Amino acid sequence: MVAFGGSLAAPFYLDDFALLQDPAVTSPGGWMDCLALTQTRPLTWLSFWLNYQLGGSQPSGYHAVNLGLHLANILVAHQALSGVIPRAVAFLAATVFALHPVQTEAVTYVFARASLIMTLLCLLALRAWLNQRPRLAAGWFALALMAKEECVTFPVVLALLDRSTGRKGTSKPLLAMLGLSLLFGARVLWLSTITPGSGAGAQSGVSPLSYFSVQGLAILRYLRLLIWPQGFTIESPLSLQAAWWAWAPIALSIAIAARRFQGAGAGFWWLAGLLILAPSSSVLPASDLSADRRLYFALLAFAVVAGLGLKKHPAWLTPALGVVLAALSFLESVTWRDPAALWRQALARAPHKVRPYIQLARLSPPSQALELISQAQAFAPADPLLASEKGRIYFESGEVALALNEFGRALALAPNDARMINNRGVALARLGQVAAARMDFERALQREPCFFDALWNLRKLGDTRSPDPRCRFTPSQRRSLDERP
Protein backbone atom coordinates (compact mmCIF):
# COMPACT_ATOMS: atom_id res chain seq x y z
CA MET A 1 0.00 0.00 0.00
CA VAL A 2 2.89 2.38 0.70
CA ALA A 3 4.53 1.54 -2.62
CA PHE A 4 1.48 1.55 -4.89
CA GLY A 5 -1.38 3.07 -2.90
CA GLY A 6 -0.82 6.31 -4.78
CA SER A 7 -2.19 4.61 -7.88
CA LEU A 8 -5.69 5.04 -6.44
CA ALA A 9 -5.48 8.74 -7.31
CA ALA A 10 -4.05 8.21 -10.81
CA PRO A 11 -6.08 9.10 -13.91
CA PHE A 12 -6.74 7.00 -17.01
CA TYR A 13 -4.08 6.66 -19.70
CA LEU A 14 -4.05 5.66 -23.39
CA ASP A 15 -6.22 2.56 -23.94
CA ASP A 16 -7.97 3.11 -20.61
CA PHE A 17 -10.14 5.74 -22.30
CA ALA A 18 -11.10 3.31 -25.05
CA LEU A 19 -12.73 1.08 -22.44
CA LEU A 20 -15.27 3.82 -21.74
CA GLN A 21 -16.26 3.80 -25.43
CA ASP A 22 -16.58 0.03 -25.70
CA PRO A 23 -20.19 -1.26 -25.62
CA ALA A 24 -18.90 -4.53 -24.19
CA VAL A 25 -17.90 -2.55 -21.09
CA THR A 26 -20.55 0.18 -20.87
CA SER A 27 -23.75 -1.63 -21.89
CA PRO A 28 -25.78 -3.42 -19.18
CA GLY A 29 -25.80 -6.55 -21.34
CA GLY A 30 -22.19 -6.11 -22.39
CA TRP A 31 -21.07 -9.15 -20.41
CA MET A 32 -22.34 -11.28 -23.28
CA ASP A 33 -20.13 -9.35 -25.71
CA CYS A 34 -17.18 -9.88 -23.35
CA LEU A 35 -17.55 -13.63 -23.81
CA ALA A 36 -17.97 -13.51 -27.60
CA LEU A 37 -15.60 -15.50 -29.80
CA THR A 38 -14.21 -12.32 -31.35
CA GLN A 39 -13.45 -10.64 -28.00
CA THR A 40 -9.81 -10.69 -26.96
CA ARG A 41 -9.05 -11.44 -23.31
CA PRO A 42 -12.69 -12.14 -22.37
CA LEU A 43 -12.09 -12.64 -18.65
CA THR A 44 -10.28 -9.31 -18.37
CA TRP A 45 -13.02 -7.55 -20.32
CA LEU A 46 -15.60 -9.08 -18.01
CA SER A 47 -13.77 -7.49 -15.07
CA PHE A 48 -13.87 -4.12 -16.85
CA TRP A 49 -17.61 -4.59 -17.42
CA LEU A 50 -18.14 -5.25 -13.71
CA ASN A 51 -16.04 -2.22 -12.84
CA TYR A 52 -18.16 0.02 -15.06
CA GLN A 53 -21.50 -1.36 -13.90
CA LEU A 54 -20.56 -0.86 -10.23
CA GLY A 55 -18.61 2.40 -10.41
CA GLY A 56 -19.09 3.99 -13.80
CA SER A 57 -16.16 5.89 -15.25
CA GLN A 58 -14.41 6.90 -12.01
CA PRO A 59 -10.72 5.88 -12.33
CA SER A 60 -10.31 5.13 -8.61
CA GLY A 61 -12.52 2.04 -8.78
CA TYR A 62 -10.48 0.55 -11.62
CA HIS A 63 -7.22 1.31 -9.83
CA ALA A 64 -8.53 -0.25 -6.63
CA VAL A 65 -9.23 -3.53 -8.47
CA ASN A 66 -5.75 -3.50 -10.00
CA LEU A 67 -4.16 -2.91 -6.62
CA GLY A 68 -6.25 -5.66 -5.05
CA LEU A 69 -5.15 -8.08 -7.76
CA HIS A 70 -1.51 -7.22 -7.10
CA LEU A 71 -1.97 -7.86 -3.38
CA ALA A 72 -3.57 -11.23 -4.18
CA ASN A 73 -0.68 -12.10 -6.47
CA ILE A 74 1.82 -11.37 -3.70
CA LEU A 75 0.08 -13.74 -1.28
CA VAL A 76 -0.39 -16.59 -3.77
CA ALA A 77 3.16 -16.17 -5.08
CA HIS A 78 4.57 -16.60 -1.57
CA GLN A 79 2.38 -19.63 -0.92
CA ALA A 80 3.33 -21.30 -4.19
CA LEU A 81 7.07 -20.61 -3.91
CA SER A 82 7.18 -21.87 -0.33
CA GLY A 83 6.26 -25.30 -1.64
CA VAL A 84 9.30 -25.64 -3.87
CA ILE A 85 12.13 -23.44 -2.52
CA PRO A 86 13.32 -22.56 1.02
CA ARG A 87 10.91 -20.29 2.86
CA ALA A 88 13.48 -17.54 3.40
CA VAL A 89 14.19 -17.46 -0.32
CA ALA A 90 10.47 -17.48 -1.10
CA PHE A 91 9.93 -14.52 1.22
CA LEU A 92 12.78 -12.56 -0.37
CA ALA A 93 11.49 -13.31 -3.89
CA ALA A 94 7.93 -12.36 -2.93
CA THR A 95 9.23 -9.11 -1.43
CA VAL A 96 10.99 -8.17 -4.65
CA PHE A 97 7.92 -9.15 -6.68
CA ALA A 98 5.67 -7.13 -4.37
CA LEU A 99 7.64 -3.90 -4.20
CA HIS A 100 9.92 -3.54 -7.22
CA PRO A 101 9.20 -0.24 -9.03
CA VAL A 102 9.09 -2.00 -12.42
CA GLN A 103 5.65 -3.22 -11.26
CA THR A 104 4.28 0.33 -11.20
CA GLU A 105 3.03 0.31 -14.78
CA ALA A 106 1.24 -3.03 -14.45
CA VAL A 107 -0.43 -1.96 -11.19
CA THR A 108 -1.34 1.63 -12.21
CA TYR A 109 -2.19 1.32 -15.90
CA VAL A 110 -5.77 0.03 -15.87
CA PHE A 111 -5.48 -1.59 -19.30
CA ALA A 112 -2.58 -3.70 -17.96
CA ARG A 113 -5.03 -5.57 -15.73
CA ALA A 114 -4.82 -8.49 -18.14
CA SER A 115 -1.29 -9.15 -16.87
CA LEU A 116 -2.45 -9.06 -13.24
CA ILE A 117 -5.33 -11.50 -13.75
CA MET A 118 -3.24 -13.79 -15.95
CA THR A 119 -0.50 -13.88 -13.32
CA LEU A 120 -2.92 -14.63 -10.49
CA LEU A 121 -4.46 -17.56 -12.37
CA CYS A 122 -1.06 -18.93 -13.41
CA LEU A 123 0.14 -18.71 -9.80
CA LEU A 124 -2.98 -20.58 -8.68
CA ALA A 125 -2.16 -23.18 -11.34
CA LEU A 126 1.41 -23.41 -10.05
CA ARG A 127 0.19 -23.87 -6.48
CA ALA A 128 -2.24 -26.60 -7.54
CA TRP A 129 0.51 -28.28 -9.59
CA LEU A 130 2.88 -28.35 -6.62
CA ASN A 131 0.06 -29.71 -4.44
CA GLN A 132 -0.31 -32.72 -6.79
CA ARG A 133 -3.56 -31.48 -8.32
CA PRO A 134 -2.71 -31.30 -12.03
CA ARG A 135 -6.32 -31.23 -13.27
CA LEU A 136 -7.11 -28.23 -11.11
CA ALA A 137 -3.92 -26.61 -12.40
CA ALA A 138 -5.10 -27.17 -15.97
CA GLY A 139 -8.41 -25.49 -15.12
CA TRP A 140 -6.70 -22.44 -13.64
CA PHE A 141 -4.44 -22.26 -16.71
CA ALA A 142 -7.44 -22.33 -19.07
CA LEU A 143 -8.85 -19.31 -17.23
CA ALA A 144 -5.45 -17.59 -17.39
CA LEU A 145 -5.53 -17.89 -21.17
CA MET A 146 -8.93 -16.19 -21.14
CA ALA A 147 -7.38 -13.29 -19.23
CA LYS A 148 -4.33 -12.85 -21.47
CA GLU A 149 -2.94 -15.21 -24.05
CA GLU A 150 0.70 -14.32 -23.32
CA CYS A 151 0.91 -17.17 -20.81
CA VAL A 152 0.94 -19.79 -23.62
CA THR A 153 4.45 -20.93 -22.61
CA PHE A 154 3.46 -21.60 -19.00
CA PRO A 155 2.90 -25.37 -19.58
CA VAL A 156 6.51 -25.56 -20.76
CA VAL A 157 7.55 -23.96 -17.45
CA LEU A 158 5.61 -26.65 -15.57
CA ALA A 159 7.14 -29.40 -17.72
CA LEU A 160 10.63 -28.08 -16.95
CA LEU A 161 9.74 -27.87 -13.27
CA ASP A 162 8.79 -31.57 -13.31
CA ARG A 163 12.04 -32.38 -15.09
CA SER A 164 14.03 -30.30 -12.62
CA THR A 165 12.44 -31.89 -9.54
CA GLY A 166 12.12 -35.45 -10.92
CA ARG A 167 8.34 -35.47 -10.71
CA LYS A 168 6.46 -37.91 -13.02
CA GLY A 169 2.92 -38.87 -13.96
CA THR A 170 1.65 -35.52 -15.22
CA SER A 171 1.98 -36.02 -18.96
CA LYS A 172 -1.78 -36.04 -19.76
CA PRO A 173 -2.59 -32.75 -17.98
CA LEU A 174 0.48 -31.20 -19.59
CA LEU A 175 -0.61 -32.31 -23.04
CA ALA A 176 -4.05 -30.86 -22.41
CA MET A 177 -2.51 -27.54 -21.35
CA LEU A 178 -0.22 -27.48 -24.36
CA GLY A 179 -3.25 -28.12 -26.56
CA LEU A 180 -5.00 -25.15 -24.97
CA SER A 181 -1.91 -23.04 -25.62
CA LEU A 182 -1.93 -23.95 -29.30
CA LEU A 183 -5.66 -23.25 -29.56
CA PHE A 184 -5.49 -19.86 -27.85
CA GLY A 185 -2.27 -18.98 -29.68
CA ALA A 186 -3.96 -19.58 -33.02
CA ARG A 187 -6.98 -17.60 -31.82
CA VAL A 188 -4.92 -14.55 -30.86
CA LEU A 189 -3.18 -14.60 -34.24
CA TRP A 190 -6.58 -14.62 -35.92
CA LEU A 191 -7.96 -11.86 -33.70
CA SER A 192 -4.89 -9.66 -34.19
CA THR A 193 -5.65 -9.81 -37.92
CA ILE A 194 -9.38 -9.06 -37.83
CA THR A 195 -9.52 -6.60 -34.90
CA PRO A 196 -9.12 -2.98 -36.12
CA GLY A 197 -6.26 -1.18 -34.38
CA SER A 198 -5.05 -4.27 -32.51
CA GLY A 199 -1.43 -3.11 -32.77
CA ALA A 200 -0.27 -6.71 -32.92
CA GLY A 201 0.64 -9.22 -35.59
CA ALA A 202 -0.04 -7.98 -39.10
CA GLN A 203 -1.45 -4.70 -37.74
CA SER A 204 1.68 -3.80 -35.78
CA GLY A 205 3.49 -2.46 -38.83
CA VAL A 206 6.50 -4.59 -37.90
CA SER A 207 7.61 -7.85 -39.49
CA PRO A 208 8.26 -10.87 -37.22
CA LEU A 209 11.96 -10.92 -38.16
CA SER A 210 12.43 -7.19 -37.51
CA TYR A 211 10.61 -7.52 -34.19
CA PHE A 212 12.75 -10.47 -33.16
CA SER A 213 15.93 -8.58 -34.07
CA VAL A 214 15.31 -6.01 -31.31
CA GLN A 215 13.77 -8.24 -28.64
CA GLY A 216 17.12 -9.44 -27.34
CA LEU A 217 17.84 -5.81 -26.50
CA ALA A 218 14.37 -5.48 -24.94
CA ILE A 219 15.08 -8.44 -22.64
CA LEU A 220 18.47 -7.00 -21.66
CA ARG A 221 16.73 -3.73 -20.86
CA TYR A 222 14.22 -5.53 -18.62
CA LEU A 223 17.04 -7.28 -16.77
CA ARG A 224 18.88 -3.99 -16.35
CA LEU A 225 15.76 -2.44 -14.84
CA LEU A 226 15.61 -5.27 -12.31
CA ILE A 227 19.20 -4.77 -11.23
CA TRP A 228 19.27 -0.97 -11.48
CA PRO A 229 15.66 0.23 -11.03
CA GLN A 230 15.94 3.51 -12.90
CA GLY A 231 14.77 4.47 -16.38
CA PHE A 232 11.13 3.38 -16.33
CA THR A 233 8.89 4.85 -18.99
CA ILE A 234 5.40 4.43 -20.44
CA GLU A 235 6.90 4.81 -23.93
CA SER A 236 9.25 2.17 -25.32
CA PRO A 237 12.71 3.73 -25.74
CA LEU A 238 13.71 1.13 -28.35
CA SER A 239 13.78 1.87 -32.06
CA LEU A 240 13.36 -0.59 -34.90
CA GLN A 241 17.07 -1.08 -35.50
CA ALA A 242 18.40 -4.63 -35.54
CA ALA A 243 20.46 -5.57 -32.48
CA TRP A 244 21.23 -9.23 -33.12
CA TRP A 245 24.26 -9.05 -30.85
CA ALA A 246 21.93 -8.76 -27.81
CA TRP A 247 20.87 -12.40 -28.21
CA ALA A 248 24.45 -13.59 -27.61
CA PRO A 249 24.55 -12.86 -23.83
CA ILE A 250 21.04 -14.29 -23.50
CA ALA A 251 22.12 -17.51 -25.22
CA LEU A 252 25.18 -17.65 -22.94
CA SER A 253 22.96 -17.21 -19.88
CA ILE A 254 20.78 -20.10 -21.04
CA ALA A 255 23.84 -22.33 -21.37
CA ILE A 256 24.96 -21.41 -17.85
CA ALA A 257 21.43 -21.89 -16.47
CA ALA A 258 21.32 -25.43 -17.87
CA ARG A 259 24.16 -26.35 -15.50
CA ARG A 260 22.14 -25.27 -12.44
CA PHE A 261 18.83 -26.69 -13.53
CA GLN A 262 18.27 -29.60 -11.18
CA GLY A 263 16.36 -29.37 -7.90
CA ALA A 264 14.44 -26.25 -8.93
CA GLY A 265 17.72 -24.41 -8.81
CA ALA A 266 18.55 -20.93 -10.06
CA GLY A 267 19.03 -22.25 -13.60
CA PHE A 268 15.45 -23.49 -13.80
CA TRP A 269 14.02 -20.18 -12.58
CA TRP A 270 16.16 -18.23 -15.03
CA LEU A 271 14.81 -20.32 -17.90
CA ALA A 272 11.28 -19.92 -16.51
CA GLY A 273 11.62 -16.13 -16.55
CA LEU A 274 12.80 -16.14 -20.17
CA LEU A 275 10.00 -18.52 -21.18
CA ILE A 276 7.38 -16.29 -19.59
CA LEU A 277 8.78 -13.33 -21.53
CA ALA A 278 8.99 -15.27 -24.81
CA PRO A 279 5.46 -14.70 -26.20
CA SER A 280 5.80 -10.90 -26.01
CA SER A 281 9.57 -10.78 -26.60
CA SER A 282 10.22 -13.02 -29.58
CA VAL A 283 8.49 -13.19 -32.98
CA LEU A 284 4.87 -12.06 -32.52
CA PRO A 285 5.13 -8.35 -33.39
CA ALA A 286 3.58 -5.60 -31.30
CA SER A 287 3.57 -1.89 -32.05
CA ASP A 288 5.31 -1.25 -28.71
CA LEU A 289 8.75 -2.85 -28.98
CA SER A 290 8.99 -3.08 -25.21
CA ALA A 291 6.74 -2.31 -22.24
CA ASP A 292 7.66 -2.37 -18.57
CA ARG A 293 4.38 -4.15 -17.71
CA ARG A 294 5.44 -7.22 -19.72
CA LEU A 295 7.94 -8.02 -16.99
CA TYR A 296 5.25 -8.33 -14.30
CA PHE A 297 4.93 -12.14 -14.11
CA ALA A 298 8.49 -12.91 -15.22
CA LEU A 299 9.86 -10.77 -12.40
CA LEU A 300 8.85 -13.43 -9.90
CA ALA A 301 11.07 -16.04 -11.55
CA PHE A 302 14.02 -13.67 -11.79
CA ALA A 303 13.47 -12.67 -8.14
CA VAL A 304 13.81 -16.35 -7.16
CA VAL A 305 17.15 -16.43 -9.02
CA ALA A 306 18.31 -13.48 -6.92
CA GLY A 307 16.98 -15.10 -3.76
CA LEU A 308 18.78 -18.37 -4.43
CA GLY A 309 21.96 -16.43 -5.16
CA LEU A 310 21.59 -14.83 -1.72
CA LYS A 311 20.44 -18.06 -0.07
CA LYS A 312 22.46 -17.42 3.07
CA HIS A 313 21.67 -13.73 3.26
CA PRO A 314 21.51 -11.99 6.66
CA ALA A 315 18.07 -11.57 8.22
CA TRP A 316 18.09 -7.79 7.81
CA LEU A 317 18.56 -7.91 4.02
CA THR A 318 14.94 -8.64 3.07
CA PRO A 319 13.33 -5.82 5.10
CA ALA A 320 16.08 -3.38 4.07
CA LEU A 321 15.59 -4.27 0.42
CA GLY A 322 11.84 -3.94 0.86
CA VAL A 323 12.19 -0.42 2.27
CA VAL A 324 14.42 0.71 -0.63
CA LEU A 325 12.15 -0.80 -3.28
CA ALA A 326 9.01 0.57 -1.65
CA ALA A 327 10.50 4.07 -1.60
CA LEU A 328 11.44 3.87 -5.28
CA SER A 329 7.99 2.54 -6.18
CA PHE A 330 6.31 5.30 -4.19
CA LEU A 331 8.22 7.91 -6.20
CA GLU A 332 7.30 6.21 -9.47
CA SER A 333 3.65 6.06 -8.41
CA VAL A 334 3.73 9.80 -7.73
CA THR A 335 4.87 10.32 -11.33
CA TRP A 336 1.95 8.22 -12.60
CA ARG A 337 -0.48 10.45 -10.70
CA ASP A 338 0.55 13.42 -12.87
CA PRO A 339 0.02 12.91 -16.63
CA ALA A 340 2.29 15.82 -17.54
CA ALA A 341 5.11 14.46 -15.38
CA LEU A 342 4.66 10.96 -16.81
CA TRP A 343 4.83 12.14 -20.42
CA ARG A 344 7.76 14.45 -19.70
CA GLN A 345 9.54 11.41 -18.32
CA ALA A 346 8.64 9.46 -21.46
CA LEU A 347 9.84 12.29 -23.70
CA ALA A 348 13.17 12.47 -21.88
CA ARG A 349 13.73 8.72 -22.28
CA ALA A 350 12.29 8.28 -25.78
CA PRO A 351 12.85 11.63 -27.55
CA HIS A 352 12.60 9.94 -30.97
CA LYS A 353 9.04 8.70 -30.41
CA VAL A 354 5.97 10.64 -31.56
CA ARG A 355 3.47 9.67 -28.88
CA PRO A 356 5.03 11.58 -25.93
CA TYR A 357 4.99 14.79 -27.99
CA ILE A 358 1.30 14.32 -28.84
CA GLN A 359 0.31 13.48 -25.28
CA LEU A 360 2.22 16.43 -23.85
CA ALA A 361 0.71 18.71 -26.50
CA ARG A 362 -2.77 17.75 -25.30
CA LEU A 363 -1.79 18.86 -21.79
CA SER A 364 -0.19 22.14 -22.85
CA PRO A 365 -1.40 25.62 -23.87
CA PRO A 366 -1.70 26.14 -27.66
CA SER A 367 1.62 27.90 -28.24
CA GLN A 368 3.59 25.27 -26.35
CA ALA A 369 1.56 22.48 -27.94
CA LEU A 370 2.37 23.72 -31.45
CA GLU A 371 6.05 23.90 -30.56
CA LEU A 372 6.01 20.29 -29.33
CA ILE A 373 4.32 19.05 -32.50
CA SER A 374 6.78 20.99 -34.67
CA GLN A 375 9.67 19.38 -32.79
CA ALA A 376 8.22 15.94 -33.52
CA GLN A 377 7.62 16.78 -37.17
CA ALA A 378 11.32 17.60 -37.51
CA PHE A 379 12.14 13.87 -37.24
CA ALA A 380 8.78 12.39 -38.35
CA PRO A 381 7.46 14.70 -41.10
CA ALA A 382 5.35 11.97 -42.72
CA ASP A 383 3.42 11.00 -39.58
CA PRO A 384 -0.29 11.80 -40.15
CA LEU A 385 -1.02 11.85 -36.41
CA LEU A 386 1.20 14.89 -35.97
CA ALA A 387 -0.53 16.82 -38.74
CA SER A 388 -3.91 15.81 -37.30
CA GLU A 389 -2.87 16.93 -33.83
CA LYS A 390 -1.68 20.30 -35.16
CA GLY A 391 -5.06 20.64 -36.89
CA ARG A 392 -6.82 19.95 -33.58
CA ILE A 393 -4.80 22.67 -31.85
CA TYR A 394 -5.63 25.23 -34.54
CA PHE A 395 -9.31 24.19 -34.55
CA GLU A 396 -9.70 24.56 -30.80
CA SER A 397 -7.91 27.92 -30.98
CA GLY A 398 -10.48 29.19 -33.50
CA GLU A 399 -8.08 29.18 -36.47
CA VAL A 400 -10.26 26.90 -38.56
CA ALA A 401 -8.67 27.69 -41.94
CA LEU A 402 -5.25 26.66 -40.61
CA ALA A 403 -6.87 23.58 -39.09
CA LEU A 404 -8.33 22.65 -42.47
CA ASN A 405 -4.85 22.83 -44.03
CA GLU A 406 -3.41 20.50 -41.41
CA PHE A 407 -6.32 18.06 -41.57
CA GLY A 408 -5.87 18.01 -45.34
CA ARG A 409 -2.16 17.26 -44.90
CA ALA A 410 -2.98 14.44 -42.49
CA LEU A 411 -5.48 13.01 -44.97
CA ALA A 412 -2.89 13.16 -47.77
CA LEU A 413 -0.54 11.11 -45.57
CA ALA A 414 -3.28 8.62 -44.59
CA PRO A 415 -5.91 8.79 -47.37
CA ASN A 416 -7.90 5.77 -46.20
CA ASP A 417 -8.11 6.66 -42.51
CA ALA A 418 -11.75 7.36 -41.58
CA ARG A 419 -10.70 9.61 -38.69
CA MET A 420 -8.60 11.83 -40.91
CA ILE A 421 -11.49 12.13 -43.39
CA ASN A 422 -13.92 12.96 -40.59
CA ASN A 423 -11.60 15.62 -39.16
CA ARG A 424 -11.44 17.45 -42.47
CA GLY A 425 -15.22 17.27 -42.68
CA VAL A 426 -15.55 18.93 -39.27
CA ALA A 427 -13.35 21.83 -40.37
CA LEU A 428 -15.27 22.20 -43.64
CA ALA A 429 -18.57 22.27 -41.75
CA ARG A 430 -17.27 24.97 -39.40
CA LEU A 431 -16.27 27.06 -42.44
CA GLY A 432 -19.80 26.71 -43.87
CA GLN A 433 -18.89 24.29 -46.66
CA VAL A 434 -21.69 21.92 -45.69
CA ALA A 435 -21.91 19.95 -48.97
CA ALA A 436 -18.17 19.17 -48.91
CA ALA A 437 -18.35 18.29 -45.22
CA ARG A 438 -21.25 15.90 -45.85
CA MET A 439 -19.22 14.17 -48.57
CA ASP A 440 -16.32 13.69 -46.16
CA PHE A 441 -18.55 12.24 -43.44
CA GLU A 442 -20.16 9.84 -45.91
CA ARG A 443 -16.75 8.84 -47.24
CA ALA A 444 -15.58 8.15 -43.66
CA LEU A 445 -18.59 5.87 -43.21
CA GLN A 446 -17.69 4.02 -46.40
CA ARG A 447 -14.36 3.21 -44.75
CA GLU A 448 -15.90 2.40 -41.34
CA PRO A 449 -19.70 1.89 -41.48
CA CYS A 450 -20.02 2.02 -37.69
CA PHE A 451 -17.82 5.08 -37.13
CA PHE A 452 -19.80 6.98 -34.50
CA ASP A 453 -18.18 10.41 -35.03
CA ALA A 454 -19.09 10.47 -38.72
CA LEU A 455 -22.65 9.32 -37.99
CA TRP A 456 -23.06 11.96 -35.30
CA ASN A 457 -21.65 14.71 -37.53
CA LEU A 458 -24.08 13.75 -40.29
CA ARG A 459 -26.84 13.81 -37.69
CA LYS A 460 -25.94 17.42 -36.87
CA LEU A 461 -26.29 18.25 -40.57
CA GLY A 462 -29.85 16.94 -40.55
CA ASP A 463 -29.20 13.43 -41.83
CA THR A 464 -31.68 11.00 -40.27
CA ARG A 465 -30.28 7.74 -41.57
CA SER A 466 -30.26 4.79 -39.21
CA PRO A 467 -26.94 3.07 -38.58
CA ASP A 468 -26.40 -0.56 -39.48
CA PRO A 469 -28.16 -2.64 -36.78
CA ARG A 470 -25.01 -4.72 -36.45
CA CYS A 471 -23.09 -1.67 -35.19
CA ARG A 472 -22.28 -1.69 -31.48
CA PHE A 473 -22.52 1.62 -29.61
CA THR A 474 -22.33 2.63 -25.98
CA PRO A 475 -25.64 3.64 -24.36
CA SER A 476 -24.69 7.34 -24.48
CA GLN A 477 -23.75 7.08 -28.17
CA ARG A 478 -27.01 5.33 -28.94
CA ARG A 479 -28.96 8.08 -27.17
CA SER A 480 -27.10 10.74 -29.19
CA LEU A 481 -28.01 9.04 -32.45
CA ASP A 482 -31.63 8.69 -31.39
CA GLU A 483 -32.03 12.41 -30.67
CA ARG A 484 -33.62 14.67 -33.25
CA PRO A 485 -31.00 16.66 -35.20
SS3 category, 314: coil
Angle CA(131)–CA(180)–CA(38) in degrees, nearest 5? 130
Q: Which residues, in sequence order, are CB contacts of 114 under 8 Å at separation 6+?
A: 41, 44, 147, 148
pLDDT at 34: 87
Work out whether the CA dihedral 59, 60, 63, 64 comes out positive or negative.
negative
User: From CA 81, how far away is CA 87, in angstroms rounded?
Assistant: 8
SS3 category, 213: helix
Q: Does domain 353-482 have CATH number 3.10.129.10?
A: no
pLDDT at 198: 58
Predicted model pTM = 0.93
Query: Are the CB atoms for 221 and 187 separated by under 8 Å?
Result: no
Rounded to a whole number of angstroms, the distance between the first and last alpha carbons of the chain is 50
SS3 category, 286: strand
User: From CA 370, how far away is CA 399, in angstroms rounded?
Assistant: 13
Q: Average pLDDT over the chain, rounded to whole?
A: 92
User: From CA 34, how far away is CA 186, in angstroms rounded?
Assistant: 19
Q: At what angle do helices 296-309 and 266-277 cross, to 10 degrees?
A: 170
pLDDT at 429: 94
Distances (CA, A) of 212 to 130, 208, 389: 33, 6, 32
Give the domain ranges of the chain.
Answer: 5-20+57-342, 353-482
For residue range 204-233, list pLDDT tens digits in order: 778 889 999 999 999 999 999 999 999 999
Residues in the chain: 485
Q: Compute the average pLDDT of residues 120-125.
A: 97
For residue range 57-91, list pLDDT tens digits in order: 999 999 999 999 999 999 999 999 998 999 989 99
Query: Are the CB atoms for 322 and 95 separated by under 8 Å?
Result: yes
Does 483 score more than 80 pLDDT?
no
Q: Compute the average pLDDT of residues 255-269.
A: 92
pLDDT at 465: 77
Q: Compute the average pLDDT of residues 49-54.
A: 94
pLDDT at 485: 56
Work out whether the CA dihedral 74, 150, 231, 310 comes out positive or negative.
positive
